[in-house]
């Protein structure tokens, strides 16, 4: 049954600084299950793009195959999109973003799509720093094929038809960090505000931004005991910081209104409560991180890996911006392209002049 995604703040005639209303960011009705975490993510994409004044024609959507990969039709109908092959979205996005290097990629993948069949392409998109937001809607299970274990499922997880999972899980954020992604966050789909703020920052980041979003599958993997369930997330989520995103064009910074759920996690004793950190992105925008109980330095890959190790050892769901390196050249930057989008170049730019053919023939011995 089709479910129309609810919109936050439905004021009909309201427009943002791009002159667009929320409607301009909508997509088709979702065909995923009611209550699917992926739907709330789609909603936050709409909200984030609207609030960040993103022009839909400047975004290109990509996906692989799976439940998550169906979702790009549920938002940004005015953006181009390509639902590609299972596990092969990164390569397609890599090539497509050369068409017009002023565009931003927005990829939606899942844990099966990225951590199993697509692990190779996932990691190579990281090391190339493709200019895209790479969302993994992570629920530890294959939904579209009806409930098999994915590579991120916990060892020991018991599912109805599958029995007990015998293998250790892949940690998407750890893989992204190891492959030198320049922006890595773990989020919980149930935490809408944080998801939205990190999305805005990710869209402004120059290079690849990996968002590993724990997104419960209400049909196949939502038992309380599962790391990927709503109840686990609601109980065990511990945001690293209160995060907000400040666009360069917005003028002076406004106060953060976001109040996170009370964290269950107790970090180490030497916490510095309330420390504010700011990370400036290439376009002049700023990510403001208010540490909740302990200062956390998101520019240290080592710190990011440490906190992931620690949370895995303690079965915590630590969320927030784990790592950002804002000054690394993106893939299209390093290719030294002409300013005009390549897909607008014509014959006179692309075919060498007639007189060059003689020079070339002379080179052929």
For other proteins, the binding residues (CB under 8 A) are 56-57, 60-61, 72-73, 77-85, 88, 90-100, 102-103, 120-121, 124, 128, 332, 335-339, 341-345, 347, 349-352, 354, 356-357, 360-361, 364-365
Task: Supply the minimum distance, in Å, between the C-beta of residue 76 and other proteins.
Answer: 8
Residue-wise over 58-95: b if at least 16 C-beta within 10 A, else e?
ebbbbbbbbbbbbbbbbbbbebebebbebbbbbbbbbe
Distance between CA atoms of residues 186 and 236, nearest Å:
13
Task: Supply the minimum distance, in Å, between the C-beta of residue 258 and other proteins.
Answer: 32
| Residue 90: closest CA among 49, 111, 62, 67 | 62
Task: Supply the minimum distance, in Å, between the C-beta of residue 4 and other proteins.
Answer: 17
Distance between CA atoms of residues 134 and 315, nearest Å:
25
Burial of 361 (0-12, 13-18, 19+ CB in 10 A): exposed
Task: Supply the minimum distance, in Å, between the C-beta of residue 176 and other proteins.
Answer: 16
For other proteins, give the closer residue by CB, 1 or 259.
1
30: Cβ–Cβ under 8 A, 6 or more apart, which residues?
Answer: 2, 3, 4, 5, 36, 38, 39, 42, 71, 74
Distance between CA atoms of residues 95 and 99, nearest Å:
7
Task: Supply the minimum distance, in Å, between the C-beta of residue 235 and other proteins.
Answer: 37
Distance between CA atoms of residues 185 and 205, nearest Å:
12
Distance between CA atoms of residues 307 and 266, nearest Å:
13
For other proteins, give the closer residue by CB, 145 or 343.
343
Task: Supply the minimum distance, in Å, between the C-beta of residue 64 and other proteins.
Answer: 11
For other proteins, give the closer residue by CB, 127 or 160.
127
Distance between CA atoms of residues 295 and 273, nearest Å:
7
CA-based angle 356:359:362, to the nearest 5? 150
Task: Supply the minimum distance, in Å, between the C-beta of residue 101 and other proteins.
Answer: 9
For other proteins, give the closer residue by CB, 281 or 331.
331
For other proteins, give the closer residue by CB, 276 or 345.
345
Distance between CA atoms of residues 57 and 37, nearest Å:
26
Distance between CA atoms of residues 210 and 142, nearest Å:
20
Task: Supply the minimum distance, in Å, between the C-beta of residue 207 and other proteins.
Answer: 16
């Amino acid at each position: 049954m089709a479910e129309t995604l609810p919109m936050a703040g439905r004021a009909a005639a309201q427009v943002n600084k791009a002159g667009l209303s929320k409607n301009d960011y909508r997509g088709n009705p979702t065909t995923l299950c009611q209550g699917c975490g992926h739907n709330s993510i789609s909603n936050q994409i709409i909200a984030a793009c609207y609030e960040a004044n993103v022009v839909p024609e400047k975004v290109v959507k990509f996906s692989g195959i799976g439940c998550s990969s169906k979702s790009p039709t549920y938002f940004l109908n005015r953006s181009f999109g390509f639902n590609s092959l299972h596990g092969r979205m990164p390569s397609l996005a890599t090539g497509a973003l050369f068409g017009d290097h002023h565009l931003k990629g927005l990829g939606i993948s899942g844990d099966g799509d990225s951590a199993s069949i697509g692990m190779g392409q996932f990691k190579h998109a990281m090391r190339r720093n493709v200019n895209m937001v790479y969302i993994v809607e992570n629920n530890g299970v294959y939904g579209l094929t009806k409930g098999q274990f994915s590579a991120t499922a916990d060892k020991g997880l018991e599912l109805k038809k599958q029995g007990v999972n015998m293998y250790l899980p892949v940690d998407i954020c750890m893989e992204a960090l190891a492959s030198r992604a320049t922006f890595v966050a773990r989020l919980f789909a149930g935490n809408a505000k944080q998801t939205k703020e990190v999305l805005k920052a990710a869209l402004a980041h120059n290079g690849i931004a990996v968002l590993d979003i724990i997104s419960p599958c209400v049909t196949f993997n939502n038992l309380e005991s599962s790391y990927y369930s709503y109840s686990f997330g609601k109980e065990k989520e511990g945001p690293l910081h209160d995060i907000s995103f400040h666009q360069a064009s917005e003028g002076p910074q406004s106060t953060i209104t976001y109040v996170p759920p009370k964290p269950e996690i107790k970090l180490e004793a030497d916490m510095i409560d309330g420390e504010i950190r700011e990370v400036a992105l290439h376009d002049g925008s700023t990510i403001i991180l208010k540490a909740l109980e302990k200062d956390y330095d998101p520019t240290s890959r080592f710190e990011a890996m440490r906190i992931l190790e620690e949370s895995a050892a303690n079965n915590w769901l630590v969320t927030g911006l784990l790592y950002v390196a804002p000054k690394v050249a993106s893939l299209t930057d390093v290719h030294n392209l002409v300013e005009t989008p390549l897909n607008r170049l014509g014959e006179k730019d692309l075919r060498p002049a007639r007189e060059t053919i003689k020079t070339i023939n002379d080179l052929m011995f």
